[in-house]
């Protein structure tokens, strides 16, 4: 009898350990005199242990959507994120429970991502293609034509992006007429019936340009492509429900530039694109395995034909213009697309803002130790909810930068740790 009691007691202790909780108070403060919407709140989970399996976030006692992400693929969640809408000059406290059992809670998806290998033996529809989350190729292998929409694509209800899987790695754009998720149905290539039903489409021709904010090398006079790379990986880290995270890894990049004397060994560069629900901009984080402080790179935006340019000469630059999205011979069934583009760079990394040329509005960037963050954004004139003139677009860019430069203030407090 005593042995049975001891066994029951041990099982009870095990259950308590499995249901251990950490309870946090997350205080978010909007210091600006304007309302803030779709503000991403990201909590680093490292201080709270590696055994977190579930999170519950509440505001005023009501559960709100949140997301746990494993960024490095080690099986442990690294970050918790949720979204905040803030009245002007306001403070809101969120209550967070972190549990070491169960699975992440499910919420309505507000974002979508996919990466697809073509199955050329099947001619029916996209349902027979192979949905993958990661692909690594060797030097000299170009999977561009084997990838449906040429690489990973991702969207929220406002905008959609894709990343070319080749030596260009260009950021290309899909504009919408109405708010909503569409890529699962259109897969970036809208057919005639979908166009008639009001679905969006590819809105930018990019070629070898920067497209929207693609990171490149710099040879002292012009951008260089990422051609000589030992291994190239593109992968989807997160599918949602609140943010998608897509990553490109160029391992062993021999960037033969005018600055190569300062950097004789291969570079390993990781570029991570994060798109949050409710925001048209995309956060770009660039990481280097080695310090590259003496190496110069380039980025910028495409010079759309006959576009109008805006710059504050402090890292914010944009344009508004119209062009075909395909070549002249393929233009039947297409129309000229009018878009606004924008990029916001930290001034400490801007070496020079180069004059516009026929392809790009370029920047030379440098002084990077091992990481750099910048932002890209765009709008399509097709939108029923967006911007429809150069003036309105450039006004938005200035407000966008102000929003980026004045993030909400987040403080964390561990209220208690307990077991149930």
Quote the pLDDT of residue 8: 35
pLDDT score for 14: 36
Q: CA-CA distance, 305 to 346, in Å (whole number)?
A: 27
pLDDT at residue 289, rounded to an integer: 93
Q: In this predicted structure, what is the pLDDT of residue 306? A: 86
Q: Which helix (H) or strand (E) holds 81?
A: strand 79-86
Q: Which residue has the tokens 């992440």?
A: 104
Domains and their CATH numbers in the chain = 21-107 (2.60.40.1180), 111-388 (2.70.98)
Length of the chain: 420
Would you state the pLDDT for residue 15? 37
The two tokens of residue 22 are 């950490």
**Which is nearest to 186 in space by CA: 130, 238, 112?**
112
Host H or E run for residue 403: helix 390-405
Pair 324, 336: CB distance under 8 Å: yes
For the chain, 420 residues long, give each residue's pLDDT as a single digit of tens: 444 433 333 333 333 344 568 999 999 999 999 999 999 999 999 999 999 999 999 999 999 999 999 999 999 999 999 999 999 999 999 999 999 999 999 999 999 999 999 876 655 555 568 999 999 999 989 999 999 999 999 999 999 999 999 999 999 999 999 999 999 999 999 999 999 999 999 999 999 999 999 999 999 999 999 999 999 999 999 999 999 999 999 999 998 765 444 456 789 999 999 999 999 999 999 999 988 988 999 999 999 988 999 999 999 999 999 998 865 544 456 689 999 999 999 999 999 999 999 999 999 999 999 999 999 999 999 999 999 999 999 999 999 999 999 999 999 999 877 665
DSSP, residue by residue, 10-27: HHHHHHHHHT-EEEEEEE
Task: Output the pLDDT for position 182.
Answer: 97
Residue 314 DSSP one-character state = S
Closest CA to 214 of 298, 145, 292: 298
In angstroms, rounded to a whole number, what is the distance separating the alpha carbons of residues 184 and 182?
6
Determine the pLDDT at residue 198.
Answer: 95
Report the C-alpha gap between 62 and 83 in whole angstroms: 14
Q: What are phi and psi of 111, to 5 degrees?
A: -140, 165
Which residue's entry shows tokens 């007429």?
177
């Amino acid at each position: 009898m005593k042995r049975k009691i001891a066994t029951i007691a041990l099982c009870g202790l095990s259950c308590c350990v499995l249901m251990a909780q950490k309870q946090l108070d997350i205080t978010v403060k909007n210091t600006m005199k304007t309302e803030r919407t779709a503000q991403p709140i990201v909590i680093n989970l490292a201080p709270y242990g590696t055994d977190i399996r579930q999170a519950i976030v509440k505001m005023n006692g009501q559960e709100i959507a949140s997301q746990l992400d494993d960024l490095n693929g080690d099986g442990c969640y690294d970050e918790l994120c949720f979204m905040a809408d803030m009245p002007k000059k306001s403070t809101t406290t969120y209550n967070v429970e972190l549990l070491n059992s169960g699975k992440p809670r499910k919420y309505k998806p507000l974002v979508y991502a996919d990466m697809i290998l073509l199955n050329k033996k099947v001619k029916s529809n996209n349902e027979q293609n192979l949905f993958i989350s990661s692909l690594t190729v060797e030097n000299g292998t170009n999977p561009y034509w084997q990838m449906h929409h040429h690489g990973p694509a991702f969207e929220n209800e406002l905008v959609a992006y894709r990343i070319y899987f080749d030596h260009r790695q260009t950021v290309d754009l899909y504009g919408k007429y109405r708010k909503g998720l569409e890529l699962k149905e259109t897969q970036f290539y809208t057919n005639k019936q979908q166009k008639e039903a009001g679905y969006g489409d590819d809105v930018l021709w990019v070629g070898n340009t920067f497209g929207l904010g693609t990171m490149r090398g710099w040879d002292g006079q012009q951008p260089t492509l990422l051609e000589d790379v030992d291994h190239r990986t593109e992968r989807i880290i997160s599918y949602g429900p609140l943010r998608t995270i897509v990553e490109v890894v160029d391992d062993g990049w021999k960037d033969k530039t005018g600055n190569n004397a300062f950097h004789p060994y291969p570079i390993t560069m990781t570029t991570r694109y994060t798109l949050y629900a409710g925001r048209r901009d995309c956060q770009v984080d660039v990481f280097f395995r080695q310090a590259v402080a003496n190496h110069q790179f380039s980025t910028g935006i495409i010079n759309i034909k006959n576009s109008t340019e805006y710059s504050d000469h402090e890292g914010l630059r944009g344009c508004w213009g119209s062009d075909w999205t395909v070549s002249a011979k393929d233009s039947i069934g297409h129309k000229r697309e009018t878009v606004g583009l924008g990029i916001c760079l930290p001034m400490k990394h801007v070496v020079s803002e180069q004059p516009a040329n026929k392809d790009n509005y370029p920047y030379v960037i440098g002084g990077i130790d091992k990481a750099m963050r910048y932002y890209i954004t765009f709008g399509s004139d097709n939108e029923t909810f967006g911007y429809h003139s150069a003036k309105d677009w450039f006004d938005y860019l200035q407000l966008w930068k102000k929003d980026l430069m004045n993030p909400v203030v987040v403080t964390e407090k561990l209220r208690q740790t307990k077991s149930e």
